């Protein structure tokens, strides 16, 4: 009962926000302001209520299932129901808190934006969909939420669609995740038909042969790789940074990309070793590659995007190595600190009026609150004690160290290396944003695609509050699981991370004006281009598909439509010949008639 309210409340907020925000209708500045105010209430209140209800669920802590109805399909029935389990409540708590923070934050971030009502409504819709995924008792219900999230991601990435690049990024995000979702849907079908039911609880205990499981989970993995931006379907995430920053915080850092990891964790007992090995190899490549790519990026949000890919690969590696609880733990802490980092980045971008690290610097003094909040976020990202990331990374490394996976060495080595690179890129971004000399040039007019520009002031309160609130879990969440703490891997990781950080610091100290990414030397360009994966895909997939599409258009235009147009033209041409007979002289017509009658008569006599 409560759980359905949790899911439905943000949905109701979205519907009301879309329908009622602009009533009475008007497009003037005053009406815009009133509409934004109403939309803010429609956005914040349901999410807050929903989060409070999730808190209640967590307090009660009793697993339960509530079924609305069973849809009889003639084949396997679909159960429209919600299930409360420990993992669901934990993830839902993360979703609720981050969504609430983002809703409040975007009130300040999108102030004066004429399309804010639809923006906040889509965030609400997204929140509802994610909660549906989290609580779904049936795989097909889960899939519904999964697809709505994809749609919301598309709508929100393309929020500033006036810029061509933004709408292209939105389409790219949509298409790439859709590619994975095809596999996901078929994975659901295979699982459902093998188990004879789409209910998660039934599937988890069903007796399914190993080969079927491998096939089904590999198909599911395609969807997971698409949503969670894992190699090889990760390319959409950095481009999705074209969306407004609150969206990057909500969707592309804390929640939607976590959905893939969540699904694997939810169905973990189904995943046989071969599938986990595939996941592990992708994760091992992804985490190190993305971390290196993050080190060379010049755009602050892209740094964070690649960092997200890298951290998600961490969780995937933990899952592959058998450390499910560690992966879920990192999922939650990462959601908190990455959302915090993005919100801070949004405040910085708001202040500077540019995404580029090269335009920032020396922001420690004008934005002290943001500085401290972001420092907490980076500390958690690097894994410095006592921030939450320290504990969750320790749990993952401990799990990987003990793992019995055949690719344990690859996973562990890659994870350890990534810890070092993470320390390096986080330190680089931190130093380049907040230290050194300020390079802010006051822009006369904000470029399209950026929010309006302040100068010389800290972000507004509605943006500072969510940052402050998120900084608390980012800092302290680790202690909830501190009983599982292991000193040796923690120290190893800490030393490696500090080595990376110190290395960057020394290089930066030598010449604060220059980008520490020069450390990479000749390797810098490949890293900045993310190892040319995008270009490779462009050559291998995008161009052939575009050529094919053009061919289809041409065929349609010339062959199919040509046949239709040709029929018309032929009829007109032929009638051009006969129309000369219609000269209006009735006597000529009668002559023709008579000749015809005579012909028929003669014919009848001769042939008859």
Partner 1 sequence: MHVVYPAVVAALLFSIGVYGVLARRNTILVLMSVELMLNAVNLNLVAFDVWLRDMLHSGQVLTLFVIVIAAAEVGIGLAIVLAVFRTRKAIEFDRLRELGEP
Residues that bind partner 1 (CB under 8 A): 579-580, 582-587, 590-591, 594
Least separation in angstroms between residue 598's CB and partner 1 is: 11
Least separation in angstroms between residue 590's CB and partner 1 is: 6
CA 596 to chain centre: 78
Size of the chain in residues = 608
Residue closer to partner 1 (CB basis): 584 or 608: 584
Residue closer to partner 1 (CB basis): 68 or 590: 590
Strand segments, DSSP code E, in 452-569 are: none
Least separation in angstroms between residue 574's CB and partner 1 is: 14
Least separation in angstroms between residue 580's CB and partner 1 is: 7
Quote the CA–CA distance of 279 and 409 in Å, as a whole number: 15
Contact (Cβ atoms closer than 8 angstroms) between residue 226 and residue 308 = no
Quote the CA–CA distance of 501 and 495 in Å, as a whole number: 10
Quote the CA–CA distance of 11 and 533 in Å, as a whole number: 37
User: Which residue carries 């029935």 as its tokens?
Assistant: 77
Least separation in angstroms between residue 179's CB and partner 1 is: 59
Least separation in angstroms between residue 161's CB and partner 1 is: 53
CA distances from 332 to 102, 159, 270, 412, 599 (A): 16, 27, 22, 21, 95
Residue closer to partner 1 (CB basis): 211 or 591: 591
Contact (Cβ atoms closer than 8 angstroms) between residue 99 and residue 21 = no
Residue closer to partner 1 (CB basis): 495 or 598: 598
Tell me how crowded residue 32 is: count the other CB atoms within 10 A of its CB.
18
Residue closer to partner 1 (CB basis): 506 or 598: 598
User: Which residue carries 């969707």 as its tokens?
Assistant: 251
Least separation in angstroms between residue 163's CB and partner 1 is: 56
Q: Report which secondary-structure segment, H or E, holds 82.
A: strand 78-84
Residue closer to partner 1 (CB basis): 365 or 580: 580
Least separation in angstroms between residue 576's CB and partner 1 is: 10
325 contacts: CB under 8 Å, gap ≥ 6: 395
Tell me how crowded residue 603 is: count the other CB atoms within 10 A of its CB.
10
Least separation in angstroms between residue 581's CB and partner 1 is: 8
Least separation in angstroms between residue 155's CB and partner 1 is: 58
Tell me how crowded residue 163 is: count the other CB atoms within 10 A of its CB.
15
Residue closer to partner 1 (CB basis): 74 or 573: 573
* 398's tokens: 């401990």
Residue closer to partner 1 (CB basis): 74 or 584: 584
Residue closer to partner 1 (CB basis): 67 or 593: 593
Helix axes of 210-227 and 273-296: crossing angle, nearest 10 degrees:
20
Least separation in angstroms between residue 587's CB and partner 1 is: 6
Tell me how crowded residue 229 is: count the other CB atoms within 10 A of its CB.
30
Closest to 1 in 3D by CA, of 56, 84, 45, 66: 66
Whether the bond between 386 and the residue before it is cis, its omega within 30 degrees of 0, is yes
Quote the CA–CA distance of 125 and 127 in Å, as a whole number: 5
Residue closer to partner 1 (CB basis): 567 or 585: 585
Least separation in angstroms between residue 568's CB and partner 1 is: 19
Residue closer to partner 1 (CB basis): 552 or 572: 572
Closest to 282 in 3D by CA, of 322, 310, 303, 253: 310
Q: Report which secondary-structure segment, H or E, holds 65.
A: strand 64-71
Residue closer to partner 1 (CB basis): 491 or 595: 595
562 contacts: CB under 8 Å, gap ≥ 6: none
Residue closer to partner 1 (CB basis): 413 or 592: 592
Residue closer to partner 1 (CB basis): 404 or 587: 587
Least separation in angstroms between residue 602's CB and partner 1 is: 16
H helix runs in 136-209, sequence order: 139-157, 164-195, 200-205
Least separation in angstroms between residue 594's CB and partner 1 is: 7
Quote the CA–CA distance of 141 and 158 in Å, as a whole number: 26
Q: Is 556 exposed, middle or buried (0-12, 13-18, 19+ CB in 10 A)?
A: exposed
Closest to 131 in 3D by CA, of 100, 95, 79, 155: 95
Tell me how crowded residue 506 is: count the other CB atoms within 10 A of its CB.
10
Q: Report which secondary-structure segment, H or E, holds 581.
A: none
């Amino acid at each position: 009962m409560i759980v359905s309210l949790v899911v439905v409340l943000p949905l109701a907020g979205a519907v009301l926000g879309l329908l009622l925000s602009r009533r009475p209708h008007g497009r003037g500045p005053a009406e815009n302001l009133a509409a934004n105010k109403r939309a803010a209430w429609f956005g914040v209140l349901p999410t807050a209520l929903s989060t409070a209800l999730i808190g209640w669920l967590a307090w009660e802590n009793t697993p339960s299932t509530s079924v609305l109805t069973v849809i009889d399909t003639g084949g396997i029935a679909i159960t429209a129901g919600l299930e409360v389990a420990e993992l669901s409540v934990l993830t839902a708590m993360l979703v609720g808190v981050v969504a609430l923070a983002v809703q409040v934050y975007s009130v300040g971030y999108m102030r004066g934006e004429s399309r804010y009502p639809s923006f906040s409504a889509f965030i609400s819709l997204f929140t509802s969909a994610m909660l549906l995924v989290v609580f779904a008792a049936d795989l097909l219900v889960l899939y519904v939420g999964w697809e709505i999230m994809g749609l919301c991601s598309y709508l929100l990435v393309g929020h500033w669609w006036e810029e061509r690049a933004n709408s292209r990024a939105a389409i790219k995000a949509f298409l790439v995740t859709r590619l994975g979702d095809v596999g996901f849907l078929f994975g659901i079908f295979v699982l459902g038909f093998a188990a004879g039911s789409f209910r998660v609880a039934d599937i988890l205990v069903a007796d399914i042969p190993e080969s079927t499981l491998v096939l089904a989970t590999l198909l599911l993995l395609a969807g997971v790789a698409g949503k969670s931006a894992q190699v090889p379907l990760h390319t959409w995430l950095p481009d999705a940074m074209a969306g407004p920053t609150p969206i990057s915080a909500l969707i592309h850092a804390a929640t939607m990309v976590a959905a893939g990891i969540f699904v694997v964790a939810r169905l973990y007992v189904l995943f046989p070793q071969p599938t986990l090995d595939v996941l592990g190899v992708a994760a091992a490549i992804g985490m190190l590659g993305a971390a290196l790519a993050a080190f060379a990026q010049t755009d602050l949000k892209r740094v964070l995007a690649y960092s997200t890919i890298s951290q998600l690969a961490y969780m995937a590696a933990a899952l592959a190595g058998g450390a499910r609880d560690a992966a879920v733990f990192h999922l939650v802490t990462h959601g908190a600190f990455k959302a915090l980092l993005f919100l801070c980045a949004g405040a910085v971008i708001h202040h500077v009026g540019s995404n580029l690290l090269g335009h920032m610097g020396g922001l420690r003094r004008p934005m002290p609150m943001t500085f401290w909040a972001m420092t907490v976020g980076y500390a958690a990202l690097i894994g410095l004690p006592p921030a939450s990331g320290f504990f969750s990374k320790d749990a993952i490394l401990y799990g990987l160290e003990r793992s019995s996976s055949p690719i344990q060495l690859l996973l562990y080595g890659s994870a350890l290396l990534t810890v070092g690179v993470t320390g390096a890129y986080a330190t680089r971004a931190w130093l380049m944003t907040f230290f050194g000399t300020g390079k802010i040039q006051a822009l006369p007019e904000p470029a399209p695609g950026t929010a309006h520009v302040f100068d010389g002031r800290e972000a507004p309160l509605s943006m500072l509050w969510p940052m402050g609130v998120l900084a608390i879990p980012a800092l302290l969440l680790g202690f909830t699981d501190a009983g599982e703490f292991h000193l040796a891997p923690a120290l190893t990781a800490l030393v490696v991370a500090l080595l990376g950080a110190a290395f960057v610091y020394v290089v930066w100290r030598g010449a604060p004006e220059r980008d520490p990414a020069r450390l990479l030397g000749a390797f810098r360009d490949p890293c900045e281009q993310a190892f040319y994966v995008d270009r490779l895909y462009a050559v291998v997939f995008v161009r052939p598909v575009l050529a094919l599409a053009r061919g289809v258009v041409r065929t349609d235009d010339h062959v199919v439509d040509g046949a239709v147009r040709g029929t018309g033209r032929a009829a007109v041409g032929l009638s051009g010949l006969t129309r000369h007979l219609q000269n209006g002289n009735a006597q000529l017509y009668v002559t023709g008639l008579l000749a015809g009658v005579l012909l028929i008569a003669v014919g009848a006599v001769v042939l008859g």
